[in-house]
Amino acid sequence: MVKKQPGWALPDLKEAQKRSHHQTVIEKALFAIPPHIQMIGQGKKYYLRTYGCQANERDSETLAGILESMQFTPCSEPSEADVILLNTCAIRKNAEDKVLGELGSLKRLKSDKPDLIFAVCGCMAQEEEIVTLLLEKYRHVQLIFGTHNIHRLPELLYEVMSEGKRVVEVLSKEGEVIENLPVRRFGKHKAWVNIMYGCDKFCTYCIVPYTRGKERSRAMEDILDEVRILKEEGYKEVTLLGQNVNSYGKDAGIVGGFASLLEETAKIGIERIRFTTSHPWDFTDEMIDVIARYDNIMPFIHLPVQSGDSEILKIMGRRYTREQYLTLFHKIKERMPNCAISTDIIVGFPNESEEQFENTLSLVDECQFDNAFTFIYSPREGTPAARMADNVSLEVKQHRLARLNERWNQYAKLKNDAYLGKTVRVLVDGASKKNDQIMSGYTETNKLVNFVAKDAKAGDIVTVKITGCKTFSLDGEQCE
């Protein structure tokens, strides 16, 4: 057992479950690097690796911004680094295993470079069980901090560097919304824009409400200002981010909620607007209407269903039935026939019967999703589902996942086949990884296209004629 040191703040699951009723305070000047810390990264390099979702990607842009404000420079090889920072994900056990494996294999670097600092942050740092494991078995990890106190990185890192101490600061109660954090965007043409933090849905399998705290919306003007600046800087696409974007504004009483925010963002005139993730429960007609009315809001919606069986949905705490999901799905398709829809599905939820699983397959048959992210249920400590007895073997779960993947892949291919001979608008990301004569980018409906370019360069939006269709991508040729 590692003894708790004075000054450590360890994660507390019970505390993380609570929801305070006070309205979120927007802090515009909370972040400042004290003068004695401003240069501590001079001549030093950091290696930052991100696991998990877009919220983590966006947090990493802030972490990079903070480290660079302290004069650290980035490097792409862990062996060159003075600080190795892993921004972690806790959504499923295999995400955690990846991080633990990486920490294990990178440990050897410490013997060549004793001053090397290992730091762990993100969702895994919010878990009691994981922090105990890191403290006891991963003794080379010197700094652990959570999702609510990224702004404290300068002071925490300084403590580790100047005193050689192990530092743990994980807050289990969400903080305020901080508006003045530095950011180093990783993309030049596409940007992530947080619109809210946390989640209050408490689906029974999900750890996110515990690791990311209660829902807190940013002020609409702050979001719109960020988008305006991005447009001025030449960005072509923004993705509005939240665990649950359609709840935007409810915590703060923002009039019009997400539909209004989307509309105001569209009026700024940036070329492409995307958003993720939408919960089917509070997806309103106004939102569908705004998406349909503005050409610069992309006709693509990620709409996780999780299961096609109403009984399982109820035990998952998803707040809708199979029929309600289908009604929403068809309403979207009726209003926007060209809208692509993708989904998330969990198989092998505790006690899922063969018949219940087949209901998921038949829902996939009815919806014919453009894309799907499919997972085997993974019990997460502290969630209600983790306490449920489960009579489904891993073998059965794996077989169901394979059957589900085969099914949705057929429809993904069918959807892609419909593009043959059509022309589409593609925002170019750059040369394809496999062949630099070929450029790649995404259609408005979020289809990956590899195409023979004429004069297209990264950041352009070009017209491409589709000449070939695969399950996960399209091939094409740039038009005149």
Task: Yes or no: say if 141 and 20 are a contact pair by the CB < 8 Å rule.
Answer: no
Find the binder of ligand SF4 among 33, 153, 171, 203 (CB under 6 A). 203
Find the binder of ligand 5AD among 33, 135, 153, 346 (CB under 6 A). 346
- Helix (H) / strand (E) element for 326: namely helix 322-335
List binders of ligand SF4 among 237-266 (CB under 6 A).
Answer: 243-244
Find the binder of ligand 5AD among 146, 175, 280, 304 (CB under 6 A). 304
Which residue's entry shows tokens 């022309």? 423
Q: What's the closest the beta carbon of residue 59 comes to ligand 5AD, in angstroms? A: 16
Residue 369 within binding range of ligand 5AD, rule CB under 6 A? no
- Which residues are 27's β-sheet partners? 178
Residue count, binding to ligand SF4 (CB under 6 A)? 10
Q: Among ligand 5AD, ligand SF4, none, what does residue 91 contact (CB within 5–8 Å per kind)?
A: ligand 5AD
Applying CB under 6 A, the span of 110-118, 315-323, 370-378, 455-463 interacting with ligand 5AD comes to 370-378
- Interhelix angle 354-367/394-417, nearest 10 degrees: 10
What gap in Å lies between CA 64 and CA 105, rounded to an integer?
23
Is 206 annotated as a binding-site member? yes
The contact mask relative to ligand SF4 for 259-298 (x = CB under 6 A, - = no) is: --------------------x-------------------
Q: Is the dihedral of CA 438, 441, 445, 448 positive or negative?
A: positive
By Cβ distance, which residue is nearest to ligand 5AD? 344
Task: Yes or no: say if 244 and 199 are a contact pair by the CB < 8 Å rule.
Answer: yes
Please list, in sequence order, all residues whose beta carbon lies within 8 angstroms of the beta carbon of residue 29, skipping any fewer than 6 positions away: 180
Residue 206 within binding range of ligand 5AD, rule CB under 6 A? yes
Please list, in sequence order, all residues whose beta carbon lies within 8 angstroms of the beta carbon of residue 137, skipping any fewer than 6 positions away: none
The dihedral formed by the CA atoms of 293, 298, 300 and 303, expressed in degrees to the nearest 10: -70
Find the binder of ligand SF4 among 84, 206, 456, 462 (CB under 6 A). 206
Task: Yes or no: say if 27 and 177 are a contact pair by the CB < 8 Å rule.
Answer: yes
Applying CB under 6 A, the span of 205-213, 335-343, 346-354, 453-461 interacting with ligand SF4 comes to 205-213
The contact mask relative to ligand 5AD for 125-154 (x = CB under 6 A, - = no) is: ------------------------------
Q: What's the closest the beta carbon of residue 281 comes to ligand SF4, in angstroms? A: 8
Q: Reduced to 3 states, what is the DSSP secondary structure of residue 386?
A: helix
Applying CB under 6 A, the span of 217-225, 371-379, 424-432, 442-450 interacting with ligand 5AD comes to 371-379
List the one residue out of 274, 360, 376 whose CA is nearest residue 325. 360
What gap in Å lies between CA 275 and CA 264, rounded to an integer?
14
| Cβ proximity to ligand SF4, 52 vs 175, nearer residue | 52
Is 479 annotated as a binding-site member? no
Find the binder of ligand 5AD among 190, 218, 380, 400 (CB under 6 A). 380
Is 123 annotated as a binding-site member? yes
What gap in Å lies between CA 19 and CA 161, rounded to an integer?
35
List the one residue out of 104, 99, 105, 40 whose CA is nearest residue 71. 40
What gap in Å lies between CA 67 and CA 224, rounded to an integer?
26
What does the binding site for ligand SF4 look like in residue numbers (CB under 6 A)? 199, 201-203, 206, 208-209, 243-244, 279
Interface ranges with ligand 5AD (CB under 6 A): 91-92, 205-206, 304, 306, 344, 346, 375, 377-378, 380
Residues at the binding site for [4Fe-4S] cluster are: 53, 89, 123, 199, 203, 206
